């Protein structure tokens, strides 16, 4: 059975918005993976504060992955679920456990900025389509990643 989806959004709009959300999902997955990895591998006299800061961030991103993927499904599109599918959808580079703590935090700060740009594009697509639920989710993700970027920036001693 292939029931028609009648939620007030056209198939073209649902497909367009889902495509942008899928890019946000892939960037979020990559930033999640790197943040959790740096939580494990960060080293130095400020280990505990960095370790805990990164835990707070990866837990939030982990929860958001489910919200974003399920929003894609609600739009009638399949969510990507393999490492290779995620790898093809994101511009975020893999982390490097050999880096020192400052370099790890700086890299993550820049990754949040990349993710923010992706989420802003998805917000604009959702807004243009009149898809309030996706726009609302992207608004929440923008607020979260702008906050994380600020926390990392401040931890690095920058404004
Ligand atoms: Fe842990």
CA–centroid distance, 11 to ligand 1, in Å, is: 42
Q: What is the pLDDT of residue 46?
A: 96
CATH architecture of 11-155: Up-down Bundle (1.20)
69-80 pLDDT, tens per residue?
999 999 999 999
What string of H, E and C letters represents the secondary structure of the chain? Answer: CCCCCCCCCCHHHHHHHHHHHHHHHHHHHHHHHHHHHHHHHCCCCCHHHHHHHHHHHHHHHHHHHHHHHHHHHHCCCCCCCCHHHHHHHCCCCCCCCCCCHHHHHHHHHHHHHHHHHHHHHHHHHHHHHCCHHHHHHHHHHHHHHHHHHHHHHHHCCCC
Q: What is the pLDDT of residue 1?
A: 61
Mean pLDDT of the region 65-71: 98
- Greater model confidence, 43 or 3: 43
CA–centroid distance, 48 to ligand 1, in Å, is: 11
16-58 pLDDT, tens per residue?
999 999 999 999 999 999 999 999 999 999 999 999 999 999 9
Q: Where are the domains positioned within the chain?
A: 11-155
Is 123:139 a contact under the CB 8 Å cutoff?
Answer: yes
CA–centroid distance, 22 to ligand 1, in Å, is: 27
Q: What is the pLDDT of residue 85?
A: 97
80-126 pLDDT, tens per residue?
999 999 999 998 999 999 999 999 999 999 999 999 999 999 999 99
Q: What is the pLDDT of residue 3?
A: 78
The phi-psi region of residue 79 (left if phi > 0; otherwise alpha if psi is between -120 and 50; otherwise beta) is beta
CA–centroid distance, 123 to ligand 1, in Å, is: 32
CA–centroid distance, 102 to ligand 1, in Å, is: 19
Distance CA(16)–CA(64), nearest Å, equals 20
Q: What is the pLDDT of residue 151?
A: 98
């Amino acid at each position: 059975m292939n029931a028609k989806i009648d939620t007030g959004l056209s198939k073209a709009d649902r497909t367009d918005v889902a495509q942008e959300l899928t890019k946000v999902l892939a960037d979020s997955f990559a930033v999640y993976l790197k943040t959790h990895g740096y939580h494990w591998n960060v080293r130095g006299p400020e280990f505990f504060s960095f370790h805990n800061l990164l835990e707070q961030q990866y837990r939030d991103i982990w929860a958001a992955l489910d919200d974003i993927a399920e929003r894609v499904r609600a739009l009638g599109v399949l969510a990507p679920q393999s490492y290779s599918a995620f790898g093809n959808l994101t511009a975020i580079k893999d982390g490097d456990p050999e880096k020192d703590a400052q370099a790890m935090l700086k890299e993550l700060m820049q990754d949040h900025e990349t993710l923010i740009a992706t989420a802003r594009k998805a917000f604009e697509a959702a807004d243009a389509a009149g898809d309030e639920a996706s726009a609302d989710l992207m608004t929440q993700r923008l607020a979260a990643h702008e906050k994380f970027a600020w926390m990392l920036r401040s931890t690095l001693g920058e404004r």
